[in-house]
């Protein structure tokens, strides 16, 4: 077939000229097909992922090649696509947009959950399958790849830890969904050490006095009552929280922080370890025992925050089973 004097084969040979492809997770027959089509399209094919690789043709996110391609220094250099992209380029004799043929974030991932209510487990199953993963009701050695745990306890937790499986909280799923890729589970581990930086924290609280002890105790007790009375739900399923004062060193340091985390988990919300801005974070939450916010915080640290709220908003929204107006639940500033 000729077009403007050029044969179809010649035109095909320029479609992926300059591209360097490799693969991961493909069956042998499919891998051979991809190599043949890639070469007909003018691309180079390699069995290895290198700094010169431009595309990873993948069937799974659970491989060393995928992890290397989606993390520094290659994360912005290598495009991950499915075999359908190569086939589409070959059939249409055009360089198709690989983003139209992206690999689902949890392709090849088998997720099990523990310490969640039945309704929440059902919601997790829907989310995992929507992201291209497989949801397993039981923890199976050699099959389960990730355990999502509400708390660091229980038989599944102990077995997963003994087997060396990644044990993450709900933030991991939310972050994978938001980013469109399977993220490093170590950043969302529920097994982070409970390191309390007591001395610096006391000094800062003396500089900015917190609420009186009785008032603080009442607020923490109110959170306990909510934890006892509230029913698990999906009220926070659309919310992505950052808890004010969170750092890796004091992640488990305060009672209020932990109570807020449990409330968020009861409503199937997601908590992020860093404030990423309003494009990711929907609510900045200030626990009752956190250092008071300076009045300028809204204009500096959280200048673009969508909503800045106190823990009472979290508790009352969970009890009401709906997201309440945040205007009545603003944190106290000093």
Chain segment 217-254, per-residue pLDDT in tens: 667 777 888 778 888 888 888 888 888 877 554 445 57
Q: Any idea where the domains of the chain sit in the sequence?
A: 2-101, 110-188, 198-328
In angstroms, rounded to a whole number, what is the distance separating the alpha carbons of residues 124 and 119? 9
E-strand stretches of the chain: 2-3, 6-7, 20-24, 44-45, 55-58, 79-81, 110-114, 134-135, 146-149, 167-168, 240-243, 270-272, 283-286, 308-310
Going by their DSSP bridges, the two strands 240-243 and 283-286 should be labelled as parallel
Output the six-digit token pair for 249. 């060193």
The structural architecture, per CATH, of the domain 198-328 is 3-Layer(aba) Sandwich (3.40)
pLDDT winner (highest mean) among 8-17, 237-246, 268-277 = 8-17
User: Rounded mean pLDDT of 207-212?
Assistant: 41
pLDDT at 80 over 80: yes
Close Cβ partners of 30 (under 8 Å, ≥ 6 residues apart): 59, 83
User: Rounded mean pLDDT of 154-160?
Assistant: 92
Instruction: Look up the CATH number of domain 2-101.
Output: 3.40.50.10190
DSSP H or E stretch at residue 158: helix 155-163
Give tens-digit pLDDT for 41-66: 999 999 999 999 999 999 999 999 99
* Residue 313 pLDDT level (bands cut at 50, 70, 90): very high
pLDDT at 308 over 70: yes
Please name the fold of domain 110-188: Rossmann fold (3.40.50)
Query: Could you tell me which residue, 273 or 74, shows the higher pLDDT?
Result: 74
The whole model's pTM is what? 0.59
The radius of gyration computed from the CA coordinates of the chain, to the nearest angstrom, equals: 24
Close Cβ partners of 262 (under 8 Å, ≥ 6 residues apart): 227
Give the residue among 311, 325, 308 at the shortest CA–CA distance from 225. Answer: 311
CA dihedral 323, 174, 240, 77 (to 10 degrees): -150
User: Rounded mean pLDDT of 10-33?
Assistant: 96
Q: What angle do CA 107, 232, 229 make, to 5 degrees?
A: 160
Give the residue among 161, 166, 165, 167 at the shortest CA–CA distance from 142. Answer: 165
Bond before 308 cis per omega within 30 degrees:
no
pLDDT confidence of residue 301: 67
Instruction: Evaluate whether 2-101 and 198-328 have a shared fold.
Output: yes
CA torsion sign for 286, 291, 296, 301 is negative
* Residue 133 pLDDT level (bands cut at 50, 70, 90): very high
pLDDT confidence of residue 191: 64
Give the residue among 220, 185, 181, 218 at the shortest CA–CA distance from 81. Answer: 181
- Counted residue by residue, the chain has a size of 334
* Residue 211 pLDDT level (bands cut at 50, 70, 90): very low
Judged on CB neighbours under 10 Å (0-12, 13-18, 19+), 129 is: middle
> What SS3 state is found at 309?
strand
Output the six-digit token pair for 280. 């990711």
């Amino acid at each position: 077939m000729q077009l403007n004097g050029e044969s179809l084969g010649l035109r095909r040979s320029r479609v992926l000229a300059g591209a360097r492809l490799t693969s991961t997770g493909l069956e042998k027959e499919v891998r051979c097909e991809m190599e043949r089509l890639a070469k007909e399209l003018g691309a180079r094919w390699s069995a290895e992922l290198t700094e010169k690789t431009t595309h990873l043709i993948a069937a799974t996110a659970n491989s060393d090649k995928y992890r290397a391609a989606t993390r520094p220094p290659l994360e912005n250099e290598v495009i991950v696509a499915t075999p359908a992209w190569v086939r589409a380029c070959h059939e249409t004799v055009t360089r198709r947009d690989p983003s139209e043929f992206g690999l689902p974030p949890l392709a090849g991932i088998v997720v099990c959950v523990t310490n969640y209510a039945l309704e929440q487990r059902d919601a997790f199953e829907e989310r995992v399958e929507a992201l291209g993963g497989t949801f397993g009701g039981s923890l199976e050695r050699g099959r389960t790849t990730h355990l999502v745990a509400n708390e660091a306890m229980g038989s599944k937790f102990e077995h997963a830890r003994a087997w060396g499986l990644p044990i993450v909280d709900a933030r991991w799923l939310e972050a994978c969904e938001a980013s469109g890729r399977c993220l490093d589970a170590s950043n969302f581990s529920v097994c982070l050490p409970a390191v309390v930086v007591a001395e610096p924290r006391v000094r800062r609280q003396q500089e900015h006095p917190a609420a009186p002890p009785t008032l603080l105790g009442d607020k923490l007790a109110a959170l306990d009552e909510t934890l006892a009375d509230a029913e698990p739900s999906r009220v926070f399923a659309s919310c992505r929280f950052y808890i004010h004062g969170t750092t890796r060193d004091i992640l488990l340091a305060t009672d209020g922080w932990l109570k807020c985390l449990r409330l968020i988990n009861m409503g199937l919300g997601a908590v992020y370890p860093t404030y990423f801005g309003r494009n990711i974070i929907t609510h900045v939450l200030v626990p009752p025992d956190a250092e008071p916010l300076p009045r300028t915080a809204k204009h500096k640290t959280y200048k673009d925050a969508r909503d800045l709220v106190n823990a009472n908003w979290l508790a009352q929204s969970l009890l009401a089973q709906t997201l309440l107006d945040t205007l009545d639940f603003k944190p106290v500033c000093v």
